[in-house]
Amino acid sequence: MKTLFWNENKLYLLDQRKLPHETSYVICADHRAVAAAIRNMVVRGAPAIGVAAAYGMALAAMQNRSSSIAGLLAVLQSAGNELTKTRPTAVNLRWAIEQMLAKAKQYSAESVAVITTQLISEAETIAAEDIKINRSIGAHGAALIDDGARILTLCNAGALATAGYGTALGVIFAAHAKGHKVSVFACETRPYLQGARLTTWELSQAGVPVTLIVDNAAGLLFQRKMIDMVIVGADRIVANGDVANKIGTYPLSVLAAEHGVPFYVAAPLSTFDLTLSSREEIPIEERSSREITHIAEVKITGDEISVYNPSFDLTPAEKISAIITEQGIIHRPDRGKIAELFAK
């Protein structure tokens, strides 16, 4: 089951809103359809929305009717702005769009047709690279996982959150593939229930034992010494190592520190945003109150309830035991170590 693929000049996105009950694809023929799919959570997960946005840029080039290169570049800039606005926290989206714009500019001495062809090819490359990168994150991260490890995770940082294989779950898949008997506790991840709907499904399909808990139960699991480590993904990592990730990540980092349990973040280098110095600068998306007041279209609360629905929180670097990237593991991340990694 592919998270997304390109076929006959259209982008196919697995409709994650319908999982695990139904597997169907939303077919995007232009960049507006891709933007809507990202906004509406057809596709989610920082790396996956980056890849989807790259294809969205390729679609914008294909739909372009301007015969001038300047016209095409303006179309691409506008499409990029539209795609960037869909989800403000995950930086991979912006990263992918910048990659695509740079590629277009690289070929700006050529023709509109050449640029368009190059952009389709670049989107394919970004998608293929994402899977390779995740396998590399998995290989590095698996070294941190002992046989028998009981791992807590939040949200879904699996194949469904990427072009394939996954970041946090990629590490778990790599340990599992080595023959380690790992087991996972999946936090259901309110409000959108990515853990309950996606992570349990993805791990079960891979044969990794998984137990679903409500997010509230994580504390008791730490108290009862049922957790050996936490592994989560990331939506943005800034210059000092602070991490924005799904709402509920920060409390897990505080609990892990309280109980002396390692807390790992698995993410590609495209999730790093070195233009921001620390977590306070990261924009936090707020989503519709309906994600909380209604579950599976059933209304839970009374009328006219005031709701606050931030989608991400901020984990300070000092609560993170290590960040696992495709270039290796940054233990006890800080500004210096991150700068060093990017200087390579």
Kindly report whether the peptide bond that precedes residue 47 is cis, defined as omega within 30 degrees of 0.
no
26 touches 186 (CB < 8 A): no
d(CA 189, CA 249): 10
**Choice among 130, 235, 242, 273 that is catalytic:** 235
d(CA 243, CA 317): 7
Distances (CA, A) of 20 to 119, 170, 195, 199: 33, 20, 11, 10
Per CB under 8 A, does 204 bind its own copies? yes
* Among residues 216, 275, 277, 288, the one that binds its own copies under rule CB under 8 A: 216
d(CA 121, CA 312): 33
Total residues belonging to the chain: 344
Per CB under 8 A, does 61 bind its own copies? no
Site size toward its own copies (CB under 8 A) is 57
CB of 125 or CB of 216, closer to its own copies? 216
CB of 88 or CB of 141, closer to its own copies? 88
* Among residues 70, 109, 296, 343, the one that binds its own copies under rule CB under 8 A: 296
SS3 (DSSP) at 9: coil
* Among residues 20, 32, 107, 335, the one that binds its own copies under rule CB under 8 A: 20
Which window, 56-64, 109-117, 124-132, 254-262, contacts its own copies (CB under 8 A)? 254-262
- For its own copies, the binding residues in 110-129 under the rule CB under 8 A are none
- For its own copies, the binding residues in 268-287 under the rule CB under 8 A are 284
d(CA 140, CA 231): 13
Q: How far is the CB of 283 from its own copies (least distance, A)?
A: 13
Q: How far is the CB of 176 from its own copies (least distance, A)?
A: 16
Q: Is 235 among the catalytic positions?
A: yes
In this structure, is the dihedral angle defined by the CA atoms of residues 128, 341, 250 and 255, taken in order, positive or negative? positive
* Among residues 258, 283, 318, 342, the one that binds its own copies under rule CB under 8 A: 258
Per CB under 8 A, does 1 bind its own copies? no
* Among residues 305, 318, 331, 340, the one that binds its own copies under rule CB under 8 A: 305
Per CB under 8 A, does 45 bind its own copies? no
Per CB under 8 A, does 185 bind its own copies? yes
One-character DSSP codes across 173-239 = HHHHHTT---EEEEE--TTTTHIIIIIHHHHHHTT--EEEE-GGGHHHHHHTT--SEEEE--SEEET
CB of 144 or CB of 155, closer to its own copies? 155
Per CB under 8 A, does 24 bind its own copies? no
* Among residues 31, 94, 197, 236, the one that binds its own copies under rule CB under 8 A: 197
Q: How far is the CB of 260 from its own copies (least distance, A)?
A: 13
With a CB cutoff of 8 Å and minimum separation 6, the contacts of 280 are: 314
One-character DSSP codes across 115-131 = HHHHHHHHHHHHHHHHH
Q: How far is CA 264 from the centre of its chain?
A: 15
Residues that bind its own copies (CB under 8 A): 20-21, 185, 188-191, 193, 196-197, 200-201, 204, 209-221, 223, 246-251, 254-255, 258, 284, 289, 292-293, 295-302, 305-310, 312-314
Q: Where in the sequence numbering do the catalytic residues fall?
A: 235
